[in-house]
Structure 1
Amino acid sequence: MNQDYIKPDNWSVIEEGFNAERVKSSESLFSIGNGAMGQRANFEEQYSGPTFQGSYIAGVYYPDKTRVGWWKNGYPEYFAKVLNAPNWIGINVSVNGEQLDLHTCKVVDNFRRELNMKAGWLSRSFTATLQNNVVIEVEAKRFLSLELDEVGAIEYSVKPISTDAEVVFQPYLDSGITNEDTNWDDEFWDTLKVCNENNQAFIEAKTMKTEFHTCTFMESEVFVNGTAVAIKPVIESDSNSISFSYSNQVKQGETYAINKFGGYVVDTNHDKNELISAAKNVLNLATEKGFDVLLDEQKQAWERIWSMSDISISGDVKAQQGIRFNIFQLNQTYLGEDSRLNIGPKGFTGEKYGGSTYWDTEAYCIPFYMATKDQNVARSLLEYRYNHLEKAIENAGKLGFTNGAALYPMVTMNGEECHNEWEITFEEIHRNGAIAFAIFNYHRYTGDYSYIPEKGLEVLIGIARFWQQRATFSSAKNKYVILGVTGPNEYENNVNNNFYTNYLAQWCINYALENISKIESEYPSDFARVMNKVKLEEAELNKWKAVAENMYFPFSEEKQIYLQQDGFLDKELITVDHLEKAQRPINQKWSWDRILRSPYIKQADTLQGFYFFEDQFSNEELERHFDFYEPFTVHESSLSPCVHSIQAAKLDRMEQAYTFYLRTSRLDLDDYNNEVHEGLHITSMAGTWMSIVEGFGGMRVKDDMLSFTPKIPKEWDEYSFKVNFRHHILKVNVNQSGAKFELEGDSDLQILVNNSPVTISRNSLLTV
């Protein structure tokens, strides 16, 4: 049973009514971030019920020693934990000596929480009857500033309804925090200094092992009926925390409020010996502007983001809310302003999975950032991998590969592999192919070839070397095979000849060869520099060619399909529609042994190959493979429904495409997989964007031009989106009767619409 408590709304995520069983789920759904930091939607005031406390700083992590396998050769020694950072949002509230705690209140009425995606803020309001029978109204609003990305702001007010009352606000900082996700219950933080000056408080702390130095800070001001009042706070501190208490006698019906500014400065951006000074500077900037000015700037910053990235849908509020929620969370997680950062699968909403970088970035996220930002953002994501090339070569070396072969990590923070399930770490090697594909995809979309001779070629060579060495010649088949792998479908481990992996390996080698040849003839100085560095010789290239030309692909003549892996037809082929609902999701109900022997597919696997390389297969082949594999697919990976939505739309199966779209866009809002309390599925949200733009919009790059085959679900009246293609801003609007294309830019643009070339004049509208 999916959850259904989120109210449909075009621009907001809204929860009405307090339910303690929903607290953890809502903490995920209402998370906020600004690319540099983020936090789950924990209450500011004390809450003694079940909660998942989480504040996170981009790029700050801890290498948590693995519990198993670390004694084996090549096994990662640690798992990079996304760290719960010192808490700055806390404001204890007491009324006539009674703590405000929604878990212990007698009554909580009129509870309403709203995440306003248009303007980038989170609010909460309720009426509470405390244990001492005092009735209060509470309103809170907070945001993480996009303009000053080290700062967050909170406006919190209490109005006594039933009587005059003494109200105490106690804003605090606390570095004595723990992680929800930890292997050994280690202490992750070492508090170095707790201090205050005037109305400001600071905690300096560093992470154990990785030694990231941070300063968490706060400053507060209190108001009665909107007028600032000077109250001398009572200051308390210990080795891990500091609080300021502002006590006031508040008349019945008066509003007592606090504005709190807080956040983090980190030694990745400042001198570690000057962090308090840096914190003072940013606090002074924030308090000088004040809450209202910062909030106004927040609205303007989000307006700029939405002006390019919004997808509007009319006639279907749930579909509209779903896509905007996805786009909003992607922009909260990564804005492309710091090339050292990447897009973690949970973003700033939870700790599961660890690490900040998966193959999801290359396979799903780069198209979104290429089209809704500017190509430099996508190029930064490619350069992130180039900067980790030496680590990828080291990772491969630990597994016995030589001569500069590169294996990019499944999970990483700094380029080093830190995922520790052997069947994933050693065997889910298709991730290497996604990194090469992203280079191809970037060039295809932007037309910018310069990245490849400058940096990309070295990456492609390292990846091709890996595939050549990873393949094994089978004399029985007289072909090269790839043994012992896990494909994207993680419900099959340690299989032989996963079609998607083998196909990617062949493609990567051929793509590297093609670029070596092009750069040799067109970029001789880059070619000489790279060859001098990588020492690539003709004999080695001949080995690559032998593997690529003789790669084995399992195929069923009877069914006329490529097999997901050698043994797929040996399984008991019972389709998903025969599974009882009580058995779903199988990853929470079945043993792993049972899952591995079943035919059930976690996510698009063979079909992922058809998605990447659709030009190399006919529509008839896609249809055959879709009809065979989709009925076995349980879509228990967040990365699955979007690919199926795109392919269903390509096959003109609009009802299926729409169903998959709703599933991908509302995966978290409706909690399809019963796991949203752990955090959101950020990287798959880019797939939701693709399911509209590439699925319903049919956007592709063909013959070096943008191409569209627009379609629209019957449930929608109209939808529109924008893409930035080679410095042209193109707006696409599709309704039930046709499509319109509007161009912003300095020059005309030729595109394909339903495979026919049309030219759009600059600053004009074309109706098809």
Structure 2
Amino acid sequence: MKNYITHHPWKIIEEGYRPEYNRISESIFSLGNGKFGQRGNFEEYFSGDSLQGNYLGGVYYPDKTRVGWWKNGYPEYFAKVLNAPDWTGIRIKIDGQELDPHKLKLIDFRRELDMQNGHFSKIYKAEFPDGKQIKIHSTRMLSIVNDELGAIKYSITPLNFSAPTEILLPINGDIKNEDANYDEHFWDEIEKSASARAPYLITETRKTHFRACYAMHYSLEVDGTPQSLTQFDSIEETKYIAHRLNVKLDEKKTTTIYKYAAVVTSRDHKNSDLKTVASEVLAYAKSKGFCTILDEQKAAWKEKWNHGDIAIEGDTAAQQGIRYNIFQLNQTYTGQDERLNIGPKGFTGEKYGGSTYWDTEAYLLPFYLSTSEPDVARNLLIYRFKHLQKAIENAEKLGFTNGAALYPMVTMNGEECHNEWEITFEEIHRNGAIAYAIFSYIRYTGDKRYLADYGLEVLIGISRFWAQRVNYSEDKQKYVMLGVTGPNEYENNVNNNWYTLKMAQWTMQYTMEAINYVKQTIPEEWQRIVTKSNFVESDEISNWKRICENLYFPYDQKREVFLQQDGFLDKELKPVSNIPAEETPINKHWSWDRILRSCYIKQADVLQGLYFFEDQYEKETIKRNYDFYEPMTVHESSLSACIHSIMAAKLGDEKRSYEFYLSASRLDLDDYNSDSDEGLHVTSMGGTWMSIVQGFGGMRIKNNMLSFNPFMPEKWKSFSFKINFRGHLLNIVIDKDNVNIHNDADEPLKVLLFDKTQTIEANDKITVDMNCQNK
């Protein structure tokens, strides 16, 4: 665990340059606007350890699968969001000496991410070997108002000298991914020009043929006075263009460079229009200027915070953590493009290829449901609907028939592209998360029409898969499910994983309910779905009912707990506290063989199912399972702490709930798992939001209403969160004495508070004391 980020409620601050942490900082200070993003790299030439990262949403490459032993059914490729051309460079040479922050003495170094206003800055003094000292102050943003625009303000002040200086402003497309399986470069040059006043570079991905056009405009000021730029050197190299300016820096005078970049791709525009659109984006930037663009950015972020902030009084570390998580979620996905989804690292690194996992449905959907307009979450679901045919094809490759659908574990276009057998073939519980997301969306929004328009076809495909994936055991006289991997990836190829069985049973049951609803309310749509999916109602529904009624679930009668899978009790059951500290995390110290034979659990597995379906179980049942499994959980997945925090809150273990929340919220800021250098855990951030809203706030949907059973963490003075629910913006404020719920809508709303129905009038609030007495 690192602890070098200064605690602040609205900012992420690093004071002092730490080269050993530079990759971590590059991840932490990442920026994005939903369409493209980048790591917090230096603009200057930097010779230290670095992952230079720029990423374009939805632009990927099918890197050929690399495995030692090929198995039938393996995906042919692993999709990767590509490290894209870099437009951010500003290279400085003073009297021929390169400004390289890694090699020079840095004084008063500070990096700062302003989450409230949406920009990243750094400021430092650098001393050259000959004693020259220079002050650098830069501010960078990716506009969320015009999401094809990036801008940098870069100021240079010589403190004790005057000297001729070279400023190089490049666009570099000669980029490759660090994780390229065969050390390939994935971009080809199409067109470039450095001679124009607005130089540009167009590159294209190999195989997938996405095109990206980068164009730049820049201007120069000295102590606030604009400078004429009539002379510059044009540089053109392979996949690279630049302008070089030769200027005179005068002692104690500040020279400021404004660099704007248009970033447009063929995902959004015709190839023939890329240059034109890029020119329009730069014209927009020139007409506005940096200060106006920054003001627009601040206003747009203010609107986001007005609808989705969480405020904590009395605990700066906790406050900083949750706002950082919310900030990164809003940077990563805006919901404006139904073709896009959310990769586990967002725009912050290359690990996991930037592809879509089951994390979206299980951990991210609740955040976007509650903090955005319904269309944002709806687009996440439509993304899966549009990939239904690919899911059917994925299942067919594994031998399934009749429209059975297996959604991919990892994908960019709906096709499975994960090549580890225990994931690709066995971690099939992801199918259940997609079905549960449809249920969650409809339960939250009340949009039952979604079933007829999109959801039911997906549910039928998934249920068909589950019905074929089980087999009847003569020995058990039950249906069983063999050879699977549950959420606990420290167990592979197990039989009868309880969570996977639960998701299969629930999905078939929910699909039958959905069929009944659509048949009765929109019969014409039901007939369309029957025809399109070749659904044989009597045969398929009777089969699903038979399976659901006769599905085998492993259970320990002695302990009265659900067993994670068959044979779990054959393991040597020891708590995590028995593992020597120097052997943790076990995934970095133990052999895979040892991990698989141990009882230790990577993340919530049985408990994940109890979290989803808590209303089906008595509190005592949940507690027995929690007390049995949590002590054996090493929490070596970023998705673990949030679920345990919510469940601990439900069980009244407020201390553990807070501890789990804090580790989840500061997972990247404090580098808990020693992997923040690879990029942020963006999908975990949705779970962190859930820890507060569902955990401390106790928010659920019950009886078609919002329900709250909040408690106050001991360290806090108060906390508040905002919820969008069916056209109502609610602000829930909780302190030691009271719960206040503000209804900022023109219609009244009924809610459950401590299991009692309360009516909040339009543009009004209610106040209830923590002992449930109305005031």
TM tier, smaller: over 0.9
- Kindly indicate whether residue 343 of structure 2 is the aligned counterpart of residue 327 of structure 1: no
Match of 2:212 in 1: 214
| Structure 2 residue identity aligned to 1:153 | A
Residue 285 of structure 2: aligned partner: 286
Q: How far apart, CA to CA, are the structure 1 residues paired with 2:454 and 2:496?
A: 31
How far, CA to CA, are the matches of 1:132 and 1:416 in structure 2?
58
Q: Letter of the 1:590 partner, please give it.
A: W
**Corresponding residue number in structure 2 for 1:588:** 588
1:130-529 matches, cutoff 5 A: 130-196=128-194, 198-231=196-229, 232-529=231-528
Aligned AA (2:507): C
Query: Does the residue aligned with 2:5 lie in a helix, a strand or coil?
Result: coil
- Kindly state the Cα deviation for residue 197 of structure 1 after the two structures are TM-superposed: 5.1
The whole-number CA distance in structure 2 between the counterparts of 1:197 and 1:291 is 24
For 2:506, the aligned partner's letter is W
How far apart, CA to CA, are the structure 1 residues paired with 2:254 and 2:112? 21
Q: 1:418 to 1:6 in 2, by over 3 A?
A: same
Determine which of 106, 119, 123 is the counterpart of 1:108: 106
Measure, in 1, the Cα distance between the counterparts of 2:296 and 2:191: 33
User: 8 Å contact 1:70–1:77 — kept in the other structure?
Assistant: no
What is the DSSP-based 3-state SS (H/G/I as helix, E as strand, rest coil) of the residue aligned with 2:72? coil
| Count of aligned residue pairs for this structure pair | 766
Q: Is the deviation greater in 269-278 or in 673-682? A: 269-278
Provide the residue aligned with 2:546 in structure 1: 546
| Residue deviations 1:193-240 (CA, integer Å, cap 9, x gap) | 121354211111100000001111211111111111113111111121
* Matching residue of 1:79: 78
Cα distance in 2 for residues equivalent to 1:649 and 1:212: 47
Deviation of the 1:157 alpha carbon:
1.1
Query: 1:163 and 1:471 mapped to 2: Cα distance?
Result: 77
- What secondary structure sits across from 2:377 in the alignment? helix
Distance 1:69 1:509 in 2: 38
Q: Which stretch shows the higher mean deviation, 54-63 or 240-249? A: 240-249
2:663 equivalent to 1:663: yes
Q: How far 1:544 moved relative to its partner? A: 1.6
Partner SS for 1:235:
strand
Are the aligned partners of 2:194 and 2:236 in contact in 1 as well (CA < 8 Å)?
no
The answer on whether the counterparts of 1:48 and 1:103 sit within 8 Å (CA) in structure 2 is yes
1-side partners of 2:667 and 2:624: how far apart?
Answer: 27
Question: CA deviation digits over 1:34-85, x for unaligned, max 9?
Answer: 0000000010000001100100000000000001178432110000011000
Does the Cα contact within 8 Å between 1:169 and 1:258 map onto a contact in 2? no
Give distance in 1, aligned partners of 2:293 and 2:570.
Answer: 62
Aligned-partner residue type, residue 566 of structure 1: D
- Give the match for residue 643 of structure 2: 643
Alpha-carbon distance in 2 for matches of 1:33, 1:355: 14
User: How far did residue 167 of structure 1 move?
Assistant: 2.1
The residue type equivalent to 1:206 in the other structure is E
Classify the secondary structure of the residue corresponding to 1:326.
helix
Q: Provide Cα deviations, 1:324-356, integer angstroms capped at 9, x if missing partner.
A: 000000000001111111111100000101143
In structure 1, C-alpha distance between the alignment counterparts of 2:491 and 2:391, rounded to whole Å: 25
- Mapping of 1:648-727 within 5 angstroms? 648-727=648-727
SS in 1 for 2:80: strand
Alpha-carbon distance in 1 for matches of 2:179, 2:599: 31
Aligned equivalent of 2:92: 93
- Alignment partners' CA distance in 2, 1:752 and 1:144: 41
**Residues 169 and 244, structure 2, Cα contact 8 Å, conserved in 1:** yes
- What is the identity, as a one-letter code, of the residue corresponding to 1:722? K
SS of 2:325 mapped into structure 1: helix
Please provide the CA RMSD for this pair: 0.9
Per the alignment, in what secondary structure is the counterpart of residue 442 of structure 1? helix
1:405 touches 1:464 (CA, 8 Å); kept in 2? yes
Alpha-carbon offset, residue 493 of structure 1: 0.5
Structure 2 distance, partners of 1:76, 1:731, is: 47
Do 1:69 and 1:75's aligned partners in 2 also have CA atoms closer than 8 Å?
no
CA distance in 2, matches of 1:148, 1:287: 13
**CA offsets 1:631-651 (integer angstroms, 9 cap, x no match):** 000111111100000010111
1:30 aligns with 29
Alignment gaps of 5+ in structure 2: 769-775
- 2:194–2:235: 8 Å Cα contact kept in structure 1? no
Alignment of 1:606 onto 2:606: yes
Q: Summarize the Cα distance change of 1:75–1:69 in structure 2 as closer, same or farther, 3 Å threshold.
A: farther
Measure the CA separation in 2 of the matches of 1:684 and 1:263: 31
Q: Secondary structure at the match of 1:680?
A: coil
Deviation track 1:453-510 (CA, whole Å, cap 9, x = no partner) reads 1111000000000000000111100001110000001000100111000011000011
Cα distance between partner residues in 1 of 2:289 and 2:96: 30
What is the CA–CA distance in structure 1 between the aligned matches of 2:509 and 2:765, rounded to whole Å?
Answer: 41
Deviation at 1:148, TM superposition (A): 1.0
Output the amino acid matched with 2:225.
Answer: T
- Tell me how far apart the structure 2 counterparts of residues 618 and 287 of structure 1 sit (CA, whole Å): 62
Confirm or deny: 8 A CA contact 1:70 1:76 kept in the other structure.
no
Is the contact made by 2:760 and 2:766 (CA closer than 8 Å) also made in structure 1? yes
The answer for the alignment partner of 2:567 in structure 1 is 567
Query: Aligned-pair distance for 1:190?
Result: 0.5
CA shift for structure 1 position 713: 0.3
**Does structure 2 conserve the Cα–Cα contact (< 8 Å) formed by 1:556 and 1:563?**
yes
> SS in structure 2 opposite 1:506?
helix
CA contact (8 A) 2:194 2:242 kept: no
Query: Matches of 1:629 and 1:34 in 2, distance apart?
Result: 39
2:188–2:239: 8 Å Cα contact kept in structure 1? no
1:277-330 CA distance string (max 9 Å, x none): 111111111111111100000000000000011000000000000000000000
Q: Partners in 1 of 2:440 and 2:431 — Cα distance?
A: 15
Cα distance between partner residues in 2 of 1:502 and 1:19: 48
Secondary structure of the structure 2 residue equivalent to 1:354? helix
SS at match of 1:637: coil
Instruction: Tell whether the 8 Å contact from 2:262 to 2:281 is kept in structure 1 after alignment.
Output: no
**Partner of 1:17 in structure 2?**
16
Structure-2-length-normalised TM-score: 0.98
Structure 1: how far apart are the matches of 2:310 and 2:160?
Answer: 46
- Describe the SS at the equivalent of 1:729: strand
* 1:117-128 aligned within 5 A: 117-128=115-126
Shifted more, 432-441 versus 261-270: the winner is 261-270
Secondary structure of the 2:25 match is helix
Tell me which residue corresponds to 1:57.
56
Cα contact 1:69–1:420 (8 A) shared by 2: no
Paired residue type of 2:60 = Y
Query: What are structure 1's unaligned runs of at least 5 residues?
Result: none
Whether the 8 Å contact between 1:194 and 1:239 is mirrored in structure 2 is: no
2:82/2:177 contact within 8 Å kept? yes
C-alpha separation in 2, matches of 1:678 and 1:355: 12
The one-letter amino acid paired with 2:738 is G
- TM-score of the superposed pair, with normalisation by structure 1: 0.99
**Native 8 Å contact 2:363 2:683 kept in 1:** yes
